[in-house]
Structure 1
Amino acid sequence: MVHHAVNPPTPGWSLTIPPRLWSDLQQHLFRLDDDEHGAVILAGRADGPRGPRLLARELILAADGLDYVEGTTGYRALKAEFVRDAALRARDEKLAYLAVHNHFGTTTVGFSRTDLASHDRGYPALSKITGQIVGGLVLTPQAAAGDFWLPDRTRVTPTEVVIPGGNLIRLTSAPGSVVASDARHDRQARLFGDRGQHAFGRMRVAVVGLGGVGSIVTELLARLGVGHLDLIDRDTADETNLARLLAAEPDDIGKPKTELAARNARRANPKISLTLIPENVQHPTALQAIAACDWIFLAADTNAARHWVNETVHRYLIPATQAGVKIPVDPLGQVGRIHVAVRHQIPGNGCMWCNGLINPTELAVDMLPNDLQKQARYLDEIPAPSVIALNSLAAGEAVNHFMFAITNLHADEHEHSLLHFPRTGQRIPQQSRRDSACRTCSDGGLMAQGGHAEAS
């Protein structure tokens, strides 16, 4: 199924729905009975790359004939008691209240006059009860329209509904116009289409870690035509970095890696917009940046970087890709099983904590000031082997996944993570495990809370 999700998003409010919640909502609304069905979404709030975002945290399904009944002024309506209970929960949990129902059709949808009249009658009272954003959402399988009422009585129309799964689906109320791609990206647009190519230009992407893998990822994203990159790394280049940093020169020793990555990105795409953050990811400026982007590439291998990117994925419903290379060499010089890991982090799926990818002891050390980190580790660490050709495997896999997700070219909506063993050519798909009690990715954890994550 081809979504018009690749239409370029415009500035304004939006709603992001995690894939598992979207799947449940689809099954409830889009049945074979040719009828309308209803539900309520409770949502957190956060700033996004193009405006404020609502983050769907919980789905409350309305049972047909019990909670979703014949209306007095329209065809169907949520029962008063159901609305009251959901509104009180929105008030108590400080979440937005969104009433949802379906219409018939495919790529175009909008509220009926009866729908809008019911909003005029009911939403001012609901706004007073909750003290939060209230609104409505109407959906078809391939389109979405909304009507949000803010606490200050402002009424806004959201520009899109985003589902950040294996394919990054963007639903709008109607298909947008097609913008012709420039000659620089002609060959790419022959694969992605003009809409797909323009979608890259509207993306804001963060790259955390600008070493061997991150420098290549930055170059590839710039050449794809990504519109804005947030480049995050506090390190400077030294002599041992030159062989694996793209286009690095001897005169670059001592320069921030952010500057080298920015130079390459501008050379590859003179129109690109860049934000350079020469800090660790736990710095407040970096945390704010990754919480307000469309996608995160994690190319830093510290436990602190994993922890904060992991939390951002689930708290703000932002997809991420972790990419790295492991080259085990024992003290005698024996080379072990080299592997390339590319993990797609989908909001609401099993997180890095659930899958044992964060070491709590190492995380505690990573969070110390730099001088104390060295004391806590007692011994100088032995530098890990790194080779640009192996790094390019990780970067290529990661960016290929990204470009297919943005243009909806993945053959399925599932997670696309893998381990690649270059010495044997073996490729093993990976599926995330999910702990139902996880404080980060479970329904009762940080999922879709929004707000502002701060390092402590």
Structure 2
Amino acid sequence: MSDRRLRVPARVVRELREALLRDDEQERFAFVDAGTGPASGHGEPDAPADAGGSADAPDLLAGEVVPVPDERLARQSKTACRPEPAVERDHVGDCYDRQLAPMLVHSHPFSDDPRFSSIDVEAMGRFREWLTGLFPDRPFGFAVVGQSGIEAVANAGERFAALPVEVVGEWKLDDPVPGAVDRFAPTDGGERDGATADGAATASNGDAPTADTDTPGGDDGIGERFDRNVRALGTDGQRRLRDATVGVVGVGGIGSQVAEQFARLGVGELVLVDPDTVEPSNLPRLVGAYDHHVGKPKVEAVREHAWRSSPGDIDVTAIAEPVEAVPERLADCDLVVGCVDRVTARSFCNEWAVKHLTYYVDAGVRIDTTDEQVVGMTGYVHLVAPGSTACFDCLGRHDQEAARIERLSPDEREAELERGYIDTEQVSPEPAVIHLNGLCASKTVSVATDVVTGVKTPPDFIRYEDTAHEMTALTTEPSRECPTCGDGGVLGVGQRSFGDAQFTPEDGPETATSD
């Protein structure tokens, strides 16, 4: 894991710049309500064990921006700003009541790449002493915003620790944040420890193949095997793939091919999640599954195939459970891919990604038929960069009726069928063919590879019409009215895990100022 960091969606960066940087060059102030989430995953094994550098220190996830109006500032000039104490007390209290962490943000409009001043540091120290005396275990932080840069720190016991800034969907910014960190940046480490699997969900990893002894390349795990990849993606791109952890939720017709392609690309770790077992009707489309897999978990068949499609040191974790039952297994993933046929599972992945500011790629196909004649074959790939692109609910893709039917018990479903409340087509297996699945899987891996390697800007949404052989890339924007990632939604709220104590002090410290 890397040092604790502040994850900021591109939308939040734009909102801070718009609220705090004006032509009059007066300093301004805003709160950012931040959730806490899993620590981001590439880093130093010997990081100090404190809140700022511990491997398990949670990231802060920037969600809602709350600007303080100029008339509620006790002091404002071109070199200083200070909100009224009551404003600060009320907002910090509300933030903790909602189990969020307050970030106190002011601007240095005179600076491109700002740094905290000595006055800032002194005022921040007074604030820390006051607040930690009341709530010693509550997270909080400070940030200063300039014309392009952002500097941030978080409380770390007796001191403040630097909080590197990661911009989620940074390609959406006209003016990137200099010095922003990248969760996919390659490490200097060598080979991984070796293939692993969740023994409770699958067979032991004793039948995994050994490492490819023909693969040269020293400690970086690239070598001759990935020579053609490197020629297309560069050495840095290949190392980013090697260091990435990708979750694949749903390993059926699309997901099994996605997993294989990631393995062959050299992704270092795969987390496979699917509760289903292999059925005879899956065999024409489930890559890596054969007759002897019928009745066994799909993740077992795909895990074995991924091992045989990749270097022997790939990590493959296989989880034969619904994703809703194991959300913690997504926490280690840098990027999650959903290849599910249930609306509820797809909606869950979307919401989890929005809450934790994690990239999510959703893939699916649809075949429409009339009297056993195909009238339409469609595939789509949807990239959710929370707070930067539209999410699942922004585009109205949540089918409430389908989700309701999925939640019915078998007896309830049968009763509704008999009464005519639902028809047979709503609960019958969907048509599927491997070539449409394969095209969708390849585009899914292409989009994910763009995100991981940074070789080119990923599209927000791809729609493919097979009957016309037309592929269209669309641009999306998150909706402020979206119930999931919009105002009042769950963007960046994380795991909300640090309690619900009420915050009711009568007096606060002198509020932070800046010069």
Q: Which TM-score tier does this pair reach, normalised by the shorter chain?
A: 0.7 to 0.9
Instruction: Return the TM-score normalized by structure 1.
Output: 0.81
Q: Secondary structure at the match of 1:125?
A: helix
Task: State the one-letter code of the partner of 1:196.
Answer: G
Distance 1:401 1:35, change over 3 A: farther
Question: 2: CA distance between counterparts of 1:13 and 1:32?
Answer: 34
The aligned counterpart of 1:403 is: 449
RMSD between superposed Cα atoms in Å: 3.6
Question: 2: CA distance between counterparts of 1:191 and 1:110?
Answer: 39
Question: Is 1:236 aligned to 2:282, yes or no?
Answer: no
Question: 1: CA distance between counterparts of 2:451 and 2:172?
Answer: 4
The aligned counterpart of 2:361 is: 321
The aligned counterpart of 1:282 is: 324
The aligned counterpart of 1:25 is: 16
Question: 2: CA distance between counterparts of 1:13 and 1:446?
Answer: 21
Matches within 5 A, 1:281-430: 281-283=323-325, 285=326, 287-330=327-370, 332-348=371-387, 349-369=389-409, 379=424, 381-411=427-457, 416-430=460-474
User: 1:85-104: per-residue Cα shift (whole Å, max 9, x none)?
Assistant: 54343334332122335674
Q: Which has the larger radius of gyration?
A: 2
Question: 2: CA distance between counterparts of 1:371 and 1:195?
Answer: 54
Task: State the one-letter code of the partner of 1:397.
Answer: K
The aligned counterpart of 1:158 is: 163
Distance 1:434 1:406, change over 3 A: closer
User: Which moved further from structure 2: 332-341 or 20-29?
Assistant: 20-29
Q: CA deviation at 1:208?
A: 1.1
Q: Give yes or no for contact 2:335–2:359 (8 Å, CA) kept in 1.
A: yes
User: Which moved further from structure 2: 312-321 or 395-404?
Assistant: 312-321
Distance 1:111 1:354, change over 3 A: closer
Question: 1: CA distance between counterparts of 2:147 and 2:232?
Answer: 25
User: 1:365-409: per-residue Cα shift (whole Å, max 9, x none)?
Assistant: 323456765665565944322222211111111111111122334
Q: Give yes or no for contact 1:143–1:174 (8 Å, CA) kept in 2.
A: no
User: Which moved further from structure 2: 194-203 or 295-304?
Assistant: 194-203
Q: Secondary structure at the match of 2:374?
A: coil
Matches within 5 A, 1:86-105: 86-101=91-106, 104=111
Question: 1: CA distance between counterparts of 2:417 and 2:159?
Answer: 54
User: Which moved further from structure 2: 167-176 or 399-408?
Assistant: 167-176
User: Which moved further from structure 2: 127-136 or 53-62?
Assistant: 127-136
Distance 1:452 1:301, change over 3 A: farther
User: 1:336-358: per-residue Cα shift (whole Å, max 9, x none)?
Assistant: 12111111223235443343322
Q: Secondary structure at the match of 2:398?
A: coil
Distance 1:178 1:308, change over 3 A: closer
Show structure 1 runs of 5+ residues with no match.
1-9
The aligned counterpart of 1:269 is: 311
The aligned counterpart of 1:116 is: 121
Q: Give yes or no for contact 1:49–1:293 (8 Å, CA) kept in 2.
A: no
Question: Is 1:133 aligned to 2:139, yes or no?
Answer: yes
Task: State the one-letter code of the partner of 2:76.
Answer: V
Task: State the one-letter code of the partner of 1:419.
Answer: R
Q: Give yes or no for contact 2:72–2:84 (8 Å, CA) kept in 1.
A: no
The aligned counterpart of 1:4 is: none
The aligned counterpart of 2:45 is: none
User: 1:194-225: per-residue Cα shift (whole Å, max 9, x none)?
Assistant: 44333333333221110110011111222333
Q: CA deviation at 1:65?
A: 9.6
Instruction: Return the TM-score normalized by structure 2.
Output: 0.72
Q: Give yes or no for contact 1:43–1:97 (8 Å, CA) kept in 2.
A: yes
Q: Secondary structure at the match of 1:396?
A: helix
Q: 1:76 aligns with which of 57, 76, 80?
A: 80
Distance 1:372 1:15, change over 3 A: farther
Q: Give yes or no for contact 1:207–1:218 (8 Å, CA) kept in 2.
A: yes
User: 1:239-281: per-residue Cα shift (whole Å, max 9, x none)?
Assistant: 2222222233222222211112211222213222222110122
The aligned counterpart of 2:485 is: 441
Question: Is 1:13 aligned to 2:9, yes or no?
Answer: no
The aligned counterpart of 2:244 is: 203
Count of aligned pairs between the two proteins: 433
User: 1:18-58: per-residue Cα shift (whole Å, max 9, x none)?
Assistant: 23222222445677888866533111112245341212121
The aligned counterpart of 1:5 is: none
Task: State the one-letter code of the partner of 2:65.
Answer: L
Q: CA deviation at 1:435?
A: 5.8
Distance 1:101 1:366, change over 3 A: same
Question: 2: CA distance between counterparts of 1:445 and 1:173?
Answer: 26
Q: CA deviation at 1:233?
A: 0.7
Q: Secondary structure at the match of 1:307?
A: helix
Question: 2: CA distance between counterparts of 1:248 and 1:21?
Answer: 44
Distance 1:200 1:119, change over 3 A: farther
Show structure 2 runs of 5+ residues with no match.
42-55, 189-219, 419-423, 498-515
Task: State the one-letter code of the partner of 1:135.
Answer: G
Q: Secondary structure at the match of 2:463?
A: strand
User: 1:55-104: per-residue Cα shift (whole Å, max 9, x none)?
Assistant: 21211335679747349xxx434345454454343334332122335674
Question: 2: CA distance between counterparts of 1:156 and 1:329?
Answer: 59
Q: Give yes or no for contact 1:164–1:317 (8 Å, CA) kept in 2.
A: no
Task: State the one-letter code of the partner of 1:294.
Answer: D
Q: 1:60 aligns with which of 46, 66, 72?
A: 66
Q: 2:35 aligns with which of 38, 44, 64?
A: 44
Q: 1:188 aligns with which of 216, 222, 229?
A: 229
Question: 2: CA distance between counterparts of 1:319 and 1:49?
Answer: 13
Matches within 5 A, 1:170-185: 179=188, 182-183=222-223, 184-185=225-226
Q: Give yes or no for contact 1:167–1:405 (8 Å, CA) kept in 2.
A: no
